[in-house]
Structure 1
Amino acid sequence: MRRNAMIVCLLMATTGAFAQAPEKDSLQTVGLQEVEVIATRATAHTPVAYTNLSKEQLKKANTGVDMPYLLTFTPSVLTTSDAGAGIGYTSIRVRGTDATRINVTTNGIPMNDAESHSIFWVNTPDFASSLQDVQIQRGAGTSTNGAGAFGASINMQTQGISPTPYAEFSGSYGSFNTHKETVKAGTGIINGHWGFDARLSNVSSDGYIDRASVGLNAYFLQGGYYTDNTSIRLITFANKERTYHAWNYASKEEMEQYGRRYNSCGLMYEDEKGGQHFYEDQTDNYIQKHYQLLLNHRFNSQWNMNIGLHYTKGDGYYQEYKTRRTLVEYGLSPFVYDDKEVTKSDLVRKKAMDNKFGGGIFSFTYKGDRLQATLGGALNRYDGDHFGRVLWVKSYVGDLNPDTDYYFNNATKNDGNIYLKANYELAKGVNAYMDLQYRHICYKIDGTNDKYNWLASEMQRLDIHENFGFFNPKAGLSWQINPHHRLFVSFSEAQKEPTRNNYTDGRFDEHPKPERLLDYELGYTFAGKTFQAGANLYYMDYKDQLVLTGELNEIGEAVASNVPDSYRMGVELMANLRLPCGFTWNINATLSKNRVKNFTETLFENEEAGTEAWVINHGNTPLSFSPDFILNNRFGYTYKGFEASLQSQYVSKQYMSNAKQEECTLDAYFVSNLALAYTFKLPKVKSMTVGCTLYNLFNEKYENNGYAGSGYYYDGDRKVRYNYAGYAAQAGTHLLAHVSINF
C-alpha cells in the first residue's frame, strides 16, 4: 500500500519543459511512496471484508461515467442515476445502506458533507483519472475519519508523482451527446526531489431523461518534494457543475402518457393543446474547491508518520419553478390582482448554501516483526450558511426584493476522533486485531428553516445544540492457514449521529437519537495461482436506526424516526479465474435478508399533518432499497493489445418503503455492458487505446431508484389506503466510444 507526501508550489507544466531526474533518485522516491501507510486502510491481516481496485482497473472503466458506476461490479454494490446514464447526480449503496451511511475519504481526509453525511459525486467529476487506487470496506470496517461507516467505507488514494515525465489525452463521445475530455501532464522527478502533476477535465451530457443535462468542469493539481525519508505534497482539486433537475422521477402513469424519459422538474404550465412548458433555469449550480497538504516521514524501518491538513470551500445554489405556492411561506403578503385576493401564486425560488470545512489528520505507525500498530485521529470543523430567496412571483403586485432572504440559518460542527489499531501475530499465521476509537461531535444549527410553521405563523425556528460522544471498539482474528487459505472473524461496534434532515424534517418537539450498529463478520478466502474464491458471512444488528415511518411532521414533511431493532444479514460469495490463454472470469453474489422488526407505520388523511392518524403494525418488514439478491458476472479476454469484456448485473426486487407495499417496488433487473478496446504503439507515442462500451446491451427497461409514499381517505366510514411512487428510469442500449493517447 502506498501514500502521502507534501509541500509544494503549484503546477501546470508540460512534460518536455523539465529534465528527467537520475534513475537512482527516482527509484528512491518510488521506494518511499511504496512504504507510505494509509492508516484507515485494511491489509491482508485485517479481519474485515474489503475489495481493492487498482489504477489500471479504474482507468479501463473510466470512459465517462461517474465514480459510483466504476464500483458497480464490486460485491454488494448498487448504483443509481437521476439522469439515467450514470453521469450527474449518481449515488451508491452498499449492502442496502445509502450514501449517508457510507464513509468516504481521500488520502484519509473526509469527503462526506458534514451535515447530510452524503458525498455528492457530481462534485468530483473524472476524479478517477487522478486516483492511484480505491479500497471499499464493507460493514463497519476499520476506524476512519469523518462520518460514521454504517454499511461501508470508500477510501480513495490520489496518485503519487510519477518518477518520469508524461502527458496523456483521453476523450469519449457517445449517446445523449455525452462527451468527456481529459488532459494530464507530469514533470517526473526534477533534480531528484521535486515533481508536479496537472489534470483538466470536462464532462458533459444531455442525459437520458428529458432535459437532464449535465455540465462538469474539474482540475487536479499537485506538487511534491521528496527526500530519502520524507515526502511533502500540496494537492488542490476543484469542480464546477451545472445540472438540470431530474430528481422528481416519474410515476408509471406519467411514463405511459409521456414516455419513460419524462421529467416533470421545471413544469410551468400546460397549454390548450396539451403542450407542456418548462422553466429553462431549473438548475443546480455548485463550485467546490479542495486543498490538501500531506506530510509523510519515515523515521526508520519500523516507524512512519503521516500528517494532513485540509480545507474545502463550497458555494452554490439551485433554482426551481414552483406552482401555486402559499405566499406567506415565503415572507410575502397576499395581493389583489384582477379584483381577486391572491394568496397562492407561481414563483421562482433560489436555495443557496455557502460552507467551509477544514481540519487536520495524523497517524503514527509502528511495524515490528510481530506487532503492527497505528495511533491516529482527526480534528475537523464545518461552518455553513443556508438561505433562500424569491426571485420572481407571477403577476405580483407589491415590492419584491430578490436580495432578501426568506429563511437563513447557520450550522457549525466540530468533529474529532482518536483511534488505536494493533495487529499482533499470536502464532505463525494467526493474528489478533484490535481497533479502538473515540469520536466526539458538537453540532449546532441556529436561525430559521426553509419550512413554514403554521402553528406559530412563522418560519420554523431552529435551535439545535447537540453533543455526542461515541466509543467504537472493534476486534477480530485472522488465520493464514497456509499460503492458499485464510480465515477471519470479527466484531465491530459503530455509532452515528443523526443527519441535518433528521433534525430539520423531524417533529418540532422531538429530537432524533443517534444510531448504533453491532457488526459480526466471518470470512474465508482461497488464493491459488489461477483461481481465487471467498465467502463472507455478516450480521449487522442496528439499534435505533433512522428510517422513514410514513409519519408526517407538523408541516407535512416525511419523518425519519428511530426504530428500536432492525438488521441486515447475508453472505457474499466471490470467485475469480484467470487462464494463461487470456481468459478471465469474475463473479460475485450477495444473498441477504434485511428487516425492520415490528415496523409501525403512521398514515394521515390525504397526507395532511394534524388529521387523524391511522397506525398500522406490519410486523417484520423488508428494509427499503435492500434487495435480497445481487449477482455480478464478468467474462474477459485479452490477446496482445486487444481486450474484451462482458459485464452483467442482476438485482432482485426492492421495496421503496418499509411498509412492504407491492405496488411501491422496483422490479428486478438484469443489465449487461460490452466493452471492447485495442491498445497499440505509434512513433513518438508510448501507447494509444481506442475502444467503445455498449451499455445495457440487451435494452433492459428498468428503474434503479425512486420514492414512495402513502396516505388514506374515507369511503363512507371505511378507511382506504392509497400509495404513490416515482421511478428513476434508466437508459436502454447506448454507446460510448473512447480514445486515449499516452506520451
Structure 2
Amino acid sequence: MKTSFLTGAALCVLAAAPAWAQGPALITVKDAATGVVLPNATVVLDGQPLPPTGGGQFEFTMGDGPHELRITFVGYEPLVRQYNGRPDSRYLDFGLKPATVLTGEAVVTAQRASDRTATAYTNVSKEDLAKRNFGQDLPYLLDQTPSLVVTSDAGAGVGYTDLRIRGTGTTGINMTINGVPLNDPESRGAFLVNLPDLASSISSLQVQRGVGTSQNGGAAFGASINISTLDSRREAYAESQNSYGSFNTWKNNLQFGSGLLGGHFTVDGRLSRIATDGYMNRASSDLKSYYLAAGYQGKSTQLKFITFSGREKTYQAWNGVPEPAITGDPALLQTYIDNGELSAANAERVRQEGRRYSYYTYDNQTDNYQQNHYQLHLSQGLGPDWNIGAALHLTRGFGYYESFRARRRLSAYGLENVVIGSQTISRTDLIDRKWLDNYFYGGTFALNYQPRSNDRFQATLGGAANRFDNEHYGEIIWAQYATTIAHRQRYYFNDATKSDYNVYARATWQLLPRLGVYADLQLRRIDYRIQGINNDQRKLDTRADYTFFNPKAGATFTLAEGQQLYASLAVGQREPVRSDFTDRPAGDVSAQAERLDDFEAGYRFNRADLRLLGPRTTLRLEANGFYMSYQNQLVATGQLNDVGTPLRTNVARSYRRGVELTGFVSADDKISFSTTQTLSQNHILDYRGVSYDANFNPIEAASRTSTISYSPALVSAQTLEGQPLKNLRLALLYKAVSRQYLDNSENQRRSLDPYQVLDLRIRYAIHPSFLKEIELALLVNNLLNREYVTNGYTYSYIGASRREETFNWYYPQATRNFLASVGVKF
C-alpha cells in the first residue's frame, strides 16, 4: 500500500515552517535543596498533563491569554506559576520544596511504564483525546497510535466498537481505570459501549504494547490501556461540547468543577448523551452516562470518591452483512439462499439495502445494559520517600438483549409440544431475553518507594484481590404457541464466580550513569466456577484454577542526550475466557491456559531543541522490534457464537514478530507530522486445517505454517497538522491496514481486503470577552469516500451442492460522513 502521498505533503508543508516559527519552553524540574533532577514529576498546563521529552525535561507552548503551569511530585509542595502569553525564557528550571499535597498520580504511577522500564508505550494526553472527541468511542480516538486497528459494528464509530493491537483483540488487552480492572472478568472483553463519552473525563492515558508492566487484572497478551481520571483542576470551570453529524448522530455533554475549595476540597462532574441512527440500517444507539468525583487534599493525604455510569440501548448489528451484499454477486446470493443462510425475503432486502443491509427487522431487537462504577481512592504520604495508593471498588452491571426467534423448537426452551386437536406443534415463534446480572468488587494497593535524595532507584510493591459474581439467565416474554407458561419464564440459568488475586514487585535502578536495569515479578491466582444450565439446555459444571508466575526484566542504555537503547524480556500467562469453556463442541477438551514470552528491543530519540525547520524543532523517533512467542495461544477461528463473541481454539505454537517505527516532528507547534508503521509476521506453526468431502468426512490438511487470523502484516497511520492562521488548526489523518484473514487457513477467499482511509479535521478557537473559549470543529471521516470493511467472520460446511461452501459475513464501514461540534468553556 502507498503512503508516500501524505509523507510528501508533510515534507512540502514542513519546508515552509520557518515562517510560522514560535517555540515552546523547556522545563527542568529539580529538588530545590539538592538540585537533583526529578524526571518523574507531573507537569500540568491549564489542567492538561505534559508528556516528558526525556532527560527530565518537559516542553510546552503558550499562546495569548492567561495560563497556569502546575508542577507536582510526591513528597514535595506543588509549584504554580501564572503566565500571560509566552514566558521570557525558553529554558525554565523549577525547584520543588519538600512536604507536598499528593496528587492522583501517586495512585497510577505503579501502573505506568516509563523510559526506565524498557517497554514499548505511548502516552496520550487529555488534549490529544479532546482533538478528536466528537462523540465516537474511545478506540476511534486512539486510531493513530502504533499497531492499533479499530472496527465498528454499526459502521460509524458509535455503539459497539472494538480494537486490536498487534492483532490481539480486547480479550488480550488489559484495561484499567485508575488502577481498577475494566475488562469483564469472564469474557475478558472491555465493552466501552457501556461507558459512552468516557474520553471526556480522562486526564491521561497510556497504551503499553506487548506484555508491558505488571498491572491489576488479566495478563496482557497484546497490550495494556491504562486510564486515569484522577486529576482535579484548581480553578472552577464549566464546559460543554455539542456535536451533530451524519446518520443523525448527536453528542451533548456538560462538564463542571468547583476548583479547590478551602484549600482542600474538589468536586468534578459530567453528564453526557450520545445518540445515532448508525450507518447500517436499524443500527441505532442511545447512550447516556455520568461522571462525578469528590476529593479531599491534605498535606500528605488525598482521598477521592469517584462514581461513573453508562447506560446503552443499541439495535443489534453484530450479525454483520452477507458477502453478496458487499459484492453484489447474484450467483453468490443464490448460494446463500440455497443453503438456508438467507430466506427469500432477506435476500430481497439484501438486493435493496446493499452494504447497509441489517439482518434483523424486529423493532426491539436491542441490547440493553447499564454499568455503575464506584471507586474510593487513597493516596497517603509515608514520610519523604514513601507513599501508598489504595482503592476499593464496586462495579454493578445488569441488562439483557431481546430477540425475536422464528420457528424454534419448544424443547430447546424446556417446553412441551403443543397439541391442538390432532395436530402436534413442536416449533413456535417467540421473543426471549438473555440477561446478565453481576457484581465485581475488591481492592487494590501500590506501595511506592521514591527516595528524594537519590532518584536512581525506585520500587513498587502492589497487588489486588477481586471477586466477580455473574448470573446468566434467559426469559421467554412471548410465544406464539406454548403450554402453560409463566410471565417471563426462565428457560436457563447458570451462575459464575471468579476470584482473582495478584501481587507484584517492581524496581528500577540506575546502575551506572548510562545504564539502568528493571525487574518486575508478578504472582497471580485465579479460581473460576460455573454451575447451572446453558441456553442450549446443556448442563454447565466448570471448575478451573490457575496459578501464574510472570517475571519481567529489562535494561536501558543512554547513548547521548535524548537517545536511548532498551531491551526487555517478559512472560505473560493467561486463563481462557468463558466462551472457551462453554462454546466448545461436545467431546472437545477444555481450553488450555496461554503463555507468552515477549522480547522487545528498541531505540528512542527525543529532542525538543533542534534547529532544523526554523528557530526550534521538536523531533521524536522510535524503532521497536518485538518477538512474541506463544504456547497454546487461543486464536479466533473466524466463527461467532449466538451473541457475537468470536470462537477460539488453542494452537500449540505460534509467534508474532515485527518492527514498530514511529516519528514526530514539530516546527514551533505551528506545524507537525507524526507517523507510525508496523510491519509484522504473525504465524501459527504446524497448522492443520480441516475441510470436508461430499460425504461429510473430515479431511485434515498437511502441516504448514499459516497466518494468524485478524493479524495484518502492515498497520500504518499518519497525522499532518498545521496552524495556517491564528487559532485555526487543520489536520489530515491517514490510516492503512493490509489484508486480514478471517480464519487461520490463510485462504484469500476468507479475508478482508486491504484498506486506506483519510480523515480531515478542522478546529477554530474564538476567545470572546464573556467566555474563556468557543471552539468550532469539523471532522470529515473517510474523506475520499472509500467503501471498506474492517471486520468479519466465516464458516464452511458441505452445502446443497454437495461441495464445501464458505459463507462470509462482514462489517462494512461508513462512506464519507461528518461530525461538527461547538465547544464552550465558561
- TM-score (norm: length of structure 2): 0.81
Q: What is the root-mean-square deviation in Å for CA atoms of aligned residues?
A: 2.8
How far is the alpha carbon of 1:322 from its aligned partner? 1.8
Please, which moves more after superposition, 248-257 or 405-414? 248-257
2:565 is equivalent to residue 482 of structure 1: no
Distance change in 2, residues 1:257/1:720 (3 Å): closer
Distance change in 2, residues 1:34/1:307 (3 Å): closer
Please, which moves more after superposition, 239-248 or 501-510? 501-510
* Corresponding residue of 1:536: 624
* Corresponding residue of 1:634: 719
* Corresponding residue of 2:766: 680
Distance change in 2, residues 1:450/1:47 (3 Å): same
Tell me the SS of whatever aligns to 1:308: strand
2:768 is equivalent to residue 689 of structure 1: no
2:578 and 2:414 map into 1 onto residues whose CA distance is 23
1:612 and 1:588 map into 2 onto residues whose CA distance is 47
2:818 is equivalent to residue 740 of structure 1: no
2:465 is equivalent to residue 384 of structure 1: no
Contact 2:101 2:302 in 1 (8 A): no
Q: State the one-letter code of the partner of 2:790.
A: N
How far is the alpha carbon of 1:333 from its aligned partner? 1.8
* Corresponding residue of 1:588: 676
* Corresponding residue of 1:506: 584
2:733 is equivalent to residue 647 of structure 1: yes
The equivalent position to 1:118 in structure 2, one of 189, 198, 212, is 189
Q: What are the superposed Cα offsets for residues 415-468 of structure 1, whole Å, 9 maximum, x if unpaired?
A: 0000000101110021100000000000000001112xxxxxxx2111111110
2:261 and 2:347 map into 1 onto residues whose CA distance is 70
Tell me the SS of whatever aligns to 2:534: strand
2:546 is equivalent to residue 460 of structure 1: no
Distance change in 2, residues 1:482/1:286 (3 Å): same
Distance change in 2, residues 1:605/1:281 (3 Å): farther
Contact 1:605 1:711 in 2 (8 A): no
Q: State the one-letter code of the partner of 1:239.
A: G
Contact 1:291 1:312 in 2 (8 A): yes
How far is the alpha carbon of 1:615 from its aligned partner? 2.3
Distance change in 2, residues 1:126/1:272 (3 Å): closer
2:717 and 2:523 map into 1 onto residues whose CA distance is 37
Distance change in 2, residues 1:345/1:524 (3 Å): same
Tell me the SS of whatever aligns to 2:109: coil
Distance change in 2, residues 1:179/1:29 (3 Å): farther
How far is the alpha carbon of 1:546 from its aligned partner? 1.5
Count of residue pairs the alignment pairs up: 704
* Corresponding residue of 1:312: 395
Please, which moves more after superposition, 230-239 or 32-41? 32-41
Q: State the one-letter code of the partner of 1:174.
A: G
The equivalent position to 2:595 in structure 1, one of 506, 516, 539, is 516
1:679 and 1:192 map into 2 onto residues whose CA distance is 32
How far is the alpha carbon of 1:662 from its aligned partner? 1.3
How far is the alpha carbon of 1:714 from its aligned partner? 9.2
Please, which moves more after superposition, 439-448 or 323-332? 323-332
1:52 and 1:693 map into 2 onto residues whose CA distance is 23
* Corresponding residue of 1:527: 606
How far is the alpha carbon of 1:297 from its aligned partner? 1.1
How far is the alpha carbon of 1:645 from its aligned partner? 0.3
Tell me the SS of whatever aligns to 1:481: strand
Q: State the one-letter code of the partner of 1:626.
A: S
Contact 1:42 1:50 in 2 (8 A): yes
How far is the alpha carbon of 1:30 from its aligned partner? 7.1
Tell me the SS of whatever aligns to 1:617: coil
The equivalent position to 2:522 in structure 1, one of 407, 424, 437, is 437
Q: What are the superposed Cα offsets for residues 190-225 of structure 1, whole Å, 9 maximum, x if unpaired?
A: 111111011000000000000000000000000000
Q: What are the superposed Cα offsets for residues 590-634 of structure 1, whole Å, 9 maximum, x if unpaired?
A: 00000111112334679x9xx643323351111111000111011
Q: State the one-letter code of the partner of 2:604.
A: T
Please, which moves more after superposition, 542-551 or 487-496? 542-551
User: Pairwise mapping of residues 153-168 of structure 1 onto structure 2 (< 5 A)?
Assistant: 153-168=224-239
How far is the alpha carbon of 1:160 from its aligned partner? 1.7
1:681 and 1:255 map into 2 onto residues whose CA distance is 47
Q: What are the superposed Cα offsets for residues 366-405 of structure 1, whole Å, 9 maximum, x if unpaired?
A: 11322110000000000000000122223x1522324221
How far is the alpha carbon of 1:713 from its aligned partner? 5.3
User: Pairwise mapping of residues 145-156 of structure 1 onto structure 2 (< 5 A)?
Assistant: 145-156=216-227
2:497 is equivalent to residue 412 of structure 1: yes
Aligned-residue identity in percent:
39
- TM-score (norm: length of structure 1): 0.90
Q: State the one-letter code of the partner of 1:471.
A: F
Distance change in 2, residues 1:539/1:649 (3 Å): same
* Corresponding residue of 1:362: 445
Q: State the one-letter code of the partner of 1:537.
A: G
Contact 1:270 1:277 in 2 (8 A): no
* Corresponding residue of 2:323: 252
Question: Counting strand residues as a fraction of each chain, which structure ranks higher?
Answer: 1
Tell me the SS of whatever aligns to 2:649: strand
* Corresponding residue of 1:10: none
Q: State the one-letter code of the partner of 2:418.
A: F
1:442 and 1:257 map into 2 onto residues whose CA distance is 50
* Corresponding residue of 1:300: 383
Contact 1:30 1:163 in 2 (8 A): no
User: Pairwise mapping of residues 593-742 of structure 1 onto structure 2 (< 5 A)?
Assistant: 593-603=681-691, 612-617=697-702, 619-638=704-723, 639-712=725-798, 720-742=803-825
How far is the alpha carbon of 1:712 from its aligned partner? 3.0
Tell me the SS of whatever aligns to 1:408: strand
Contact 1:108 1:144 in 2 (8 A): yes
Q: What are the superposed Cα offsets for residues 683-728 of structure 1, whole Å, 9 maximum, x if unpaired?
A: 221111001000000001000011011223597xxx8332111010
2:796 and 2:41 map into 1 onto residues whose CA distance is 50
Tell me the SS of whatever aligns to 1:644: strand
Tell me the SS of whatever aligns to 2:510: strand
Distance change in 2, residues 1:402/1:171 (3 Å): same
2:127 and 2:208 map into 1 onto residues whose CA distance is 20
Distance change in 2, residues 1:661/1:213 (3 Å): same
Q: State the one-letter code of the partner of 1:700.
A: R
Contact 2:534 2:540 in 1 (8 A): yes
Q: State the one-letter code of the partner of 1:499.
A: V
* Corresponding residue of 2:658: 570
Please, which moves more after superposition, 341-350 or 135-144? 341-350
Tell me the SS of whatever aligns to 1:38: helix
The equivalent position to 1:322 in structure 2, one of 405, 424, 433, is 405
Q: What are the superposed Cα offsets for residues 217-250 of structure 1, whole Å, 9 maximum, x if unpaired?
A: 0000000000121100000000111000001111
Distance change in 2, residues 1:298/1:258 (3 Å): farther
Contact 1:268 1:277 in 2 (8 A): no
User: Pairwise mapping of residues 187-198 of structure 1 onto structure 2 (< 5 A)?
Assistant: 187-198=258-269
User: Pairwise mapping of residues 445-456 of structure 1 onto structure 2 (< 5 A)?
Assistant: 445-451=530-536
* Corresponding residue of 1:278: 361
How far is the alpha carbon of 1:162 from its aligned partner? 1.1
How far is the alpha carbon of 1:668 from its aligned partner? 0.5
The equivalent position to 1:183 in structure 2, one of 243, 246, 254, is 254
Please, which moves more after superposition, 221-230 or 572-581? 572-581
Q: State the one-letter code of the partner of 2:484.
A: D
1:591 and 1:378 map into 2 onto residues whose CA distance is 36
Distance change in 2, residues 1:362/1:613 (3 Å): same
* Corresponding residue of 1:331: 414
Please, which moves more after superposition, 29-38 or 689-698? 29-38
Q: State the one-letter code of the partner of 1:477.
A: A
Q: State the one-letter code of the partner of 1:540.
A: M
The equivalent position to 1:233 in structure 2, one of 304, 311, 327, is 304
2:731 and 2:492 map into 1 onto residues whose CA distance is 52
Q: State the one-letter code of the partner of 1:417.
A: N
Contact 2:108 2:228 in 1 (8 A): no
Contact 1:231 1:295 in 2 (8 A): yes
Q: State the one-letter code of the partner of 1:584.
A: S
2:248 and 2:638 map into 1 onto residues whose CA distance is 40
Tell me the SS of whatever aligns to 2:114: coil
2:149 is equivalent to residue 78 of structure 1: yes
